[in-house]
Amino acid sequence: MRAVNTSDSPFLLDAAGLTKSFGEMRAVDHVSFQLKAGETLALIGASGCGKTTTLKMLNRLVEPDEGSVRLGGKEAHDIPAHEWRRRIGYVIQSGGLFPHRTVAENIALTPGLLGWDAQRIADKVTALLDMAGLADASYAGRAPSELSGGQRQRVGLARALAGEPELLLLDEPFAALDPVTKDALIDDISALRRRLGFSSVLVTHDFSEALRLADRIAVMEGGRIVQMGGAGELVAAPATEAVRALLAAPRKTARAVAQAFAGFAE
């Protein structure tokens, strides 16, 4: 399912000058970034920094006041919004599943809209449930209410990948999960990314999630990207106080863990 970029640009995704205001509040202020095929970029920052609004502009859930988005060489507003969204997988907190549909029906939704035949849809649902760690046939017929939080999020991920999208958007996908479930799901997403080669944009406020999943990290503050680069670049030379604050929490955790395990041999 590796996305193929057919344009002359080396980037699969090109977001240029994205700007959005709600009334007098400028939520996103001329945000630009690019994404190569197979790459993951994390948008990270405190609540209200503009990261989720930026993500929603990528799939036109929110329309920008200024700026443009190109995916695979095609400009967003050259394509009807519903067709544009079918090119993009979207994972939100708690999976965002339709409660009146079974697990299989949730996963099959986008392939059905794309006009796939029944056998291709059935094969895709089976394959994705297997990859999501829900291979038991009984899961396919369950309602979302019969699943745990981690299982719902895995189904949400499978649904986002079902239409073989060019880009996957992950909007705080671990926020409602306990630490053990979150850790397992991060490993699962990493394994799926290695297997399928998809490109993705992750929104999070947790630097440790970005560290484990992203190739590059863009720190947002006040609607702008204040620093972007690899984790090592941010750690070595944080550009602003906001970047230093994001790095402080994982450093404290690392010190506490080191102290707790000091003196214990493996």
Chain-wide mean pLDDT for the chain?
90
Q: Residue 256 — very low, low, confident or very high, per pLDDT cuts 50/70/90?
A: confident
- CA-based angle 175:148:180, to the nearest 5? 55
Is pLDDT above 50 for 2? no
Instruction: Work out the pLDDT band at 155, boundaries 50, 70, 90.
Output: very high
pLDDT of residue 251 exceeding 80, the answer is no
Least confident of 6-10, 118-122, 136-140: 6-10
DSSP 88: E
**Which residue matches tokens 């392939």?**
111
- Which residue is associated with the tokens 């009984």? 138
Distance of alpha carbon 60 from alpha carbon 252, whole angstroms: 38
Q: In what order do the strands lie in the sheet with 66-71?
A: 25-35, 13-22, 66-71, 74-75
pTM score, whole prediction: 0.88
Q: According to the model, what pLDDT value does residue 78 have? A: 94
Would you say 91 and 115 are in contact if contact means Cβ atoms under 8 Å apart? no
Full set of structural domains in the chain with CATH: 1-87+169-261 (3.40.50.300), 97-164 (no CATH)
Measured over the CA atoms of residue 81, residue 109, residue 102 and residue 156, the dihedral's sign is negative
- Tell me the pLDDT tens digit for each residue of 33-90: 999 999 999 999 988 999 999 999 999 999 999 999 999 999 999 999 999 999 999 9
> Residue 144 in contact with residue 103, Cβ under 8 Å?
yes
Stretch 233-260: mean pLDDT, rounded?
A: 82
Surface-to-core class of residue 64, CB atoms within 10 Å of its CB (0-12 exposed, 13-18 middle, 19+ buried): buried
Whether pLDDT at 24 is above 50: yes
Q: Is the pLDDT of residue 6 over 60?
A: no
* Cβ-contact 189, 157 below 8 angstroms: yes
Report d(CA 130, CA 132) in Å as an integer: 5
**Banded pLDDT at 249 (limits 50, 70, 90):** confident
Q: CB-hemisphere CA count at 13 Å for 32?
A: 7
Which pLDDT tens digit goes with each residue over 191-238? 888 888 899 999 998 888 999 999 999 999 999 999 999 989 998 999
Q: Which residues contact 86 (CB under 8 A, 6 or more apart)?
A: 110, 113, 114, 163, 165
CA-to-CA separations, 13 to 93, 122, 142, 261, in angstroms, rounded? 23, 30, 36, 43
- What is d(CA 44, CA 2) in angstroms, rounded to the nearest whole number? 25
For residue 9, what pLDDT is reported?
66
- Could you tell me what percent of the chain has a pLDDT over 70? 95
Whether residue 1 is predicted with pLDDT greater than 70 in this model: the reply is no
In this predicted model, what pLDDT tens digit does every residue of 165-186 receive, in sequence order? 999 999 999 887 888 888 988 9
Distances (CA, A) of 46 to 199, 207, 221, 243: 24, 11, 7, 10
The model's pLDDT over 131-149, given as tens digits with 9 standing for 90+, comes to 888 887 889 999 999 999 8
Residue with tokens 């993500």: 55
